[in-house]
Amino acid sequence: MGVTCVCQVPVAEGKSVQQTVDQLHKKLEQLGGVKQGSFFVDCETYHTTGNASGQPSKLLYVMHNSETPLSCLALYEGGPYLTADANFDVLMVKLKSHFQNAKGHKVESRGARYRYCDFLVKLGTVTMSSSARGISVEVEYCACVVPGDCWNLMKEFMQSFLGSNAPEIPSVFTSKPEGLFAPADCMDTMSQYLELFSKVRKQQVLPGSSVR
C-alpha cells in the first residue's frame, strides 16, 4: 500500500452527481487511465447503550473496504481502533445490548478503479439511504509510502483531472508526531473516508440524487 489521499469533489454547476462522475471518468481516460474493475468503502455507525454515568454516548464506526475483503476496521470515537476479520459484523449483532446500530446512517462510496502508471484512482458516488450525497476521489501513489517524499507529485497529478478542486495534503499526515515522513498505512486511508462520510451525513440531498 502506498500514500493515499481521499477527498470530496463538488458537483459541477448545472450537472447531476452522475454527470459529474462521468466527466471525471472521461478526463482520466483522456490522460491514459485504464479502468480496472470497481470498488466500495462503507461505514456503519453504532451508538453505545446502557451508559449509567450520564455521559453522552460515544460512537463506534465499523468500516469495510473492497481492497481488503477479509477484514474490517472498527474505530471508536476518540480512539482507539482495531482491525478485525469479516466476522466482526456478526459479533456486533451479539453485542446489541452494548452497541445499537444507527439505522439509516450507513454511508458508502462505490465506483470505478483506474490505473495510471504508479497511480491508482477510485471515483465513487457517496450514498446514504439510497440517495447520492456526493463524489469521492481516492488517489494512491503506489510507489512510495512516505507522504513527504511524494506529495508534490501526487498534487500535480490530481490537478491534471481535478483542476482547482485538487486538495491540500490531508491532516491525517500532518498531525502525526513524525510529520510527513511517517510511513502511511490503511488506517490513514479509512480515517480520511470517515471524515468525508461525516461531512456527507450533514449535507442536504443533492439534485438528481436517486440511486438505481
Amino acid at 77: E
Tell me if the domain spanning 3-203 has CATH number 2.30.42.
Answer: no
Structure confidence by residue, pLDDT tens digits, 167-197? 999 999 988 877 777 888 888 999 999 999 9
Domain range summary for the chain, segments of one domain joined by +: 3-203
Cα atoms in the 13 Å half-sphere on the side-chain side of 194: 24
Structure confidence by residue, pLDDT tens digits, 51-95? 556 666 788 899 999 999 999 999 887 778 889 888 888 888 888
Determine if the pTM surpasses 0.85: yes
Cα separation, 144 vs 138, in Å, equals: 16
Cα separation, 34 vs 113, in Å, equals: 8
Residue 116 CA, distance from chain mean position: 20
- According to DSSP, the residues that pair with 132 across neighbouring strands are 127
Cα separation, 155 vs 51, in Å, equals: 45
